[in-house]
Amino acid sequence: MNDILKIEITGPVVMTIAVVVGVGTFLLLFLRPSSRWAMTAVLGISVAALVGWLTVWLVEDVMDVFHVGLTPRVWFWVITGFAALGLAIVTFRHSPRWRKVAAAISIPVFLLVTALGVNTEFGLNNTLGSALGIPTEDPIQLSKPNPDDPIPTGPLWQSWKPPANMPSQGKVGTQVIPATASGFNARPAGIYLPPAALTENPPKLPLYVLMMGQPGLPDPQYVAAALDDFAAKNNGLAPIVIVADQIGPDQDDTLCLDTATYGNVEKYINVDVVNWAKENLNILPDRDHWTIAGYSNGGQCAISFAVKYPKMWGNVVDISGEEFPGAEDPAGNLAEIFHGDQAAYDAQKPINIMKGKQFPDTTAVFTAGSDDVVYVAAAKAVSAAAKASGMTVTYYEVPNGGHVGIALNAGLVKGFEVLYPRLGLSR
């Protein structure tokens, strides 16, 4: 079963097959058409395409379900899918039995092709398991770190000599991080161990804690893909990564706070995850080598934790992050979480926390898709506040990255480009 869940559902091969099957099925319904049926089919396609356009418009522009703009390709896939379904539906009227059977078969085909197209455009669910919200990574074996191992006195790249049998790629898996202090109901965390960590005498490495979006999975594949490339250019060196779960199995926007509604999320990340990392991972102990990072919902969490716990986190990477906790529904969160106390809510906003404070030894990276209007505004506002508070700030817009996989992947890469020298992993 796990092998099935690991099936790749994105990429040119999958989409080429899907499009060929979809077009073939569409054309099958047009075999031997009568003039009356052809007119009915064209009418069905046209009406359904219009319904598809109206649906996307309502979802994006009126209801603002995703809180981000949908790309033209998403519009194309949805409208085309509706049009194909319109053809299938009208085919059931005044047609021979073979055409009705073909129409019945075509409906799940059209739905699947449309779903694959939209998912590929978003670029956030590469496997069947990921699309279904089911983790596919196996538990990863860890060796207990030796507290007596020496701490390098200079940048790691200067002293580290990789052995000849070092793996060419890192390893990913999962680990259950007990919520000892917080009691938060978290899903198993994703773990990435770089090639250097898989050697017989591994060096102590930087720690990188990443939180994904909401909804989403604590999936280590995205950060692993980026870091395998960096490790290949830097003698296998990369941070050890924990992809921690800040939203829980119910996929809630927990605001990354300790609340009666969603549990002690802030304590889980900054106490339970951190304590577990110290006990179970061969990591460098100082804040200069520790990074808190996140994408979208997780990006807001990352900057919030960086300014709340500056003695712990020396670096922060905020990829397409929200401006403040619960920014997608501030009125609802004000009422539900803060019971109408605006001052209490404002006190949790990173920009307000940074006012009047200085963070002179914190490196911060903020990224957003250039066409992701809402999140560009958030990134500009928070990065400006971070710069004013003394952080060393990098701001980067991913060209036409939207709020999808392109923005995530490019944001991860930009973050590592900035941090590798800071972490002692490259010149």
> How many angstroms separate the CA atoms of 128 and 275, rounded?
33
pLDDT value at position 165?
95
pLDDT value at position 69?
66
The amino acid present at 253, given as its one-letter code, is: D
pTM of the model: 0.86
Work out the number of other CB atoms within 10 angstroms of the CB of residue 55.
Answer: 13
Do 200 and 282 meet the contact criterion of CB atoms below 8 Å apart? no
Is the peptide bond between 215 and the residue preceding it cis, with omega within 30 degrees of 0? Answer: yes
> How many angstroms separate the CA atoms of 76 and 56, rounded?
10
pLDDT value at position 200?
92
Do 317 and 324 meet the contact criterion of CB atoms below 8 Å apart? no
Q: Which residues lie across from 174 on neighbouring strands?
A: 139, 190
> How many angstroms separate the CA atoms of 218 and 413, rounded?
18
Q: Report the C-alpha dihedral over residues 410, 413, 417, 423, rounded to 10 degrees.
A: 140
Q: What is the mean pLDDT of each run of 10 residues along the chain (427 residues)?
A: 67 75 76 76 87 87 67 85 87 79 86 84 72 77 84 91 96 97 97 97 96 92 96 98 96 96 98 97 96 97 98 98 95 96 97 96 97 94 98 96 90 98 96
| Contacts of range 127-131, beta carbons closer than 8 Å, 24 or more positions apart | 127/5, 127/6, 127/7, 127/8, 127/9, 128/4, 128/5, 128/6, 128/7, 128/9, 129/2, 129/5, 129/6, 130/217, 130/219, 131/9
